[in-house]
Amino acid sequence: MGYKILVVDDEASIRLSLEESLKKAGYKTAAAETGADALALIKTDNFDLVITDLKMPGVSGLELLEALRNQSNETPVIMMTAYGDVSTAVEAMRLGAYNFIQKPFKLSEMRQQVASALRATSVSESTESVKSKPSTKAKIKPVSTGNYYMGLLNNCPGLVHIAKILEKVGASKAGNDTSILIQGESGSGKEIVARAIHEAGINEGSPFMEINCAAVPESLLESELMGHEKGSFTDAKARKEGLFEIAAEGTIFLDEIGEMGILLQSRLLRVIESRRFRRVGGKEELKVNARIVAATNRRLEEAIKEGTFRNDLYYRLQVVEIEIPPLRERPDDIPILLNHFITDFNLKLGTDTAPASKELVEVLSKYNWPGNVRELNNVVKRIMILEEPKELKALHFPSYISDGCNPRNSEGVTHGIGAGLVPLAEVEKRQILYTLEKTNNNKSKASRVLGISRQTLREKLRQYEEFAEAEE
């Protein structure tokens, strides 16, 4: 690709993981621990993109951005920010940042942001030459029947009926004009189904673009989806392509669609109806060629009654509606998913863990998995990172799972959760405390294993302490 990217963050783990991910994608990289170090590097070298943390000791990410713009340096800047810093990140956008991404984020999400930024600025190659280049991303080999995610659905007894629906949709002559709504509890596998929908489509090799509508402020979500023209708002230094445009003939996945504001819902409705849109500040109408897939863990029928979701948009989205059962209702899927995750993490971590035994599957099948597939994935990943076992055993799992009993406590009743279920926040708390225990209270290592920043971990622990004090 030839592009050179500067990564700026005071957390070494983030710098290293970003550098490694970007290098694998074919980019050249350099790194700086502080904003001051970054400015020094920029004086002696040319960069096509800067990725910087917002809060750093000394020169902050915002001050780094201001310094660049004061020097008439128009290098695009992507800002990384913690959850509580969204308002500051919005200010960074007004000062000329290309975009911001909230921590913790998936490396795949950052690579999408990078590709979009380079494409939208003058340092990027022309659109046609970019499209003509072969992808550097390794193709995933098919698993069982169909492709990677379709194979996973076909192998899970509780999801086979969904795979059959997707095969029919994929073969339909309606193609990408058919919108799809996925409903299910948080962590039940909505993204897996969305990616399977993409695989079942007719446009092989086309982009899959996803965005969490709950994670982006409404003021910026429209620009993320539809893009904006240069000068459309203060310090909009360059034209930015939105996801509808970048997705081309692929798939755009709108996760947590129930959290989208009413005003933007009406604009999205018009896009779905007309299959056309305009960039923010633009006059030219562009065609939407991508399939629109939406997902939510809310009951949209209830949101319609509450006046927070448009019924006409709901009916437009649910041309095909897919309901994903929670993991507790499909225990036969547990051994399939468990061995899928073991195989996946063996490849990613370089470990050599054996497939799960029948005895372990029996123990795990007695637990209700309130966090669904995501909880199973996360706990297996943490064990394989921390323990590197030759074989997963019940003793490796947190006691509330390995004891083979479902948590039944007064806290579940207080929150209106049925017997055998606990709130997702409680699952998160248990995983955080379990990881701290396994890392001997090493907060830096625990935050890396959990996939969150140290600041987020400290804030979570502070909340737990305050709750404990209030209970006394």
What pLDDT, in 10s, does the model give residues 398-444?
888 877 555 433 343 333 334 445 566 777 788 888 888 878 788 87
Tell me the pTM. 0.60
Choose the most confident range, by mean pLDDT, from 28-37, 95-104, 148-157, 346-355. 28-37
pLDDT at 147: 64
Per-residue pLDDT of 314-327, as tens digits, reads: 999 988 999 999 99
pLDDT at 126: 34
pLDDT at 174: 63
Q: What is the spatial distance between Cα 130 and Cα 111, in angstroms, rounded to a whole number?
A: 15
Mean pLDDT, all residues of the chain: 81
Torsion sign, CA atoms 127, 131, 136, 137: positive
What are residue 88's DSSP bridge partners? none
Q: Given 3.40.50.2300, 3.40.1180.10, 3.40.50.300, 3.40.718.10, which CATH number is that of 4-132?
A: 3.40.50.2300
Q: What is the spatial distance between Cα 227 and Cα 242, in angstroms, rounded to a whole number?
A: 4
Q: What is the DSSP string of 283-341?
A: -S-EE--SEEEEEESS-HHHHHHHTSS-HHHHHHHTTEEEEPPPGGG-TTHHHHHHHHH
Report yes or no: 368 and 420 within 8 Å, Cβ to Cβ. yes
Q: For residue 150, give the 3-state DSSP assignment.
A: helix
345-353: average pLDDT: 84
Q: How confident is the model at residue 137 (pLDDT cuts 50, 70, 90)?
A: very low
pLDDT at 24 over 50: yes
pLDDT at 258: 92
CA–chain centroid gap for 35, Å, is 27
pLDDT at 389 over 80: yes
341-348: average pLDDT: 85
The C-alpha angle with vertex 303 and arms to 192 and 295, in degrees rounded to 5, equals: 10
Structurally, at CATH architecture level, domain 148-325 sits in 3-Layer(aba) Sandwich (3.40)
Q: What is the DSSP letter of 203?
A: -
Please state, in angstroms and as integers, the Cα–Cα distance from residue 185 to each residue in 238, 256, 323, 374, following that order: 39, 11, 9, 11
- Pick from 98-112, 177-191, 257-271: least confident: 98-112
Percent of the chain with pLDDT over 90: 33
pLDDT at 217 over 70: yes
251-280: average pLDDT: 92
pLDDT at 161: 92
CATH 3.40.50.300 domain span(s) along the chain? 148-325
357-371: average pLDDT: 91
Percent of the chain with pLDDT over 70: 83
CATH 3.40.50.2300 domain span(s) along the chain? 4-132
Q: What is the spatial distance between Cα 93 and Cα 76, in angstroms, rounded to a whole number?
A: 11
108-132: average pLDDT: 59
Choose the most confident range, by mean pLDDT, from 122-126, 192-196, 207-211. 192-196
Q: What is the spatial distance between Cα 22 and Cα 28, in angstroms, rounded to a whole number?
A: 7
CA–chain centroid gap for 45, Å, is 32
Is pLDDT larger for residue 255 or for residue 87? 255
pLDDT at 143: 30
Please state, in angstroms and as integers, the Cα–Cα distance from residue 422 to each residue in 157, 324, 349, 418, 433, following that order: 25, 19, 31, 8, 16
Element (H, E) at 5: strand 4-8
Q: What is the spatial distance between Cα 373 and Cα 185, in angstroms, rounded to a whole number?
A: 10
Phi and psi of 329, rounded to 5°? -95, 0
Q: How confident is the model at residue 234 (pLDDT cuts 50, 70, 90)?
A: low
Is pLDDT larger for residue 436 or for residue 205? 436
**DSSP strands (E only) in 19-153:** 28-32, 49-53, 77-81, 99-102
pLDDT at 447: 79
pLDDT at 124: 36
Per-residue pLDDT of 51-103, as tens digits, reads: 999 888 888 888 898 888 878 788 899 988 875 555 566 667 667 788 778 77
SS3 content of the chain, % helix, strand, coil (to 5): 50, 10, 40
Q: What is the spatial distance between Cα 99 and Cα 224, in angstroms, rounded to a whole number?
A: 9
23-50: average pLDDT: 91
Q: For residue 354, give the 3-state DSSP assignment.
A: coil
- Pick from 68-82, 119-133, 187-201, 433-447: least confident: 119-133
Report yes or no: 197 and 169 within 8 Å, Cβ to Cβ. yes
Q: What is the spatial distance between Cα 155 and Cα 140, in angstroms, rounded to a whole number?
A: 17
Q: Which has the closest alpha carbon to 366: 406, 409, 399, 426? A: 406
Q: What is the DSSP letter of 100?
A: E
Q: What is the DSSP letter of 394?
A: G
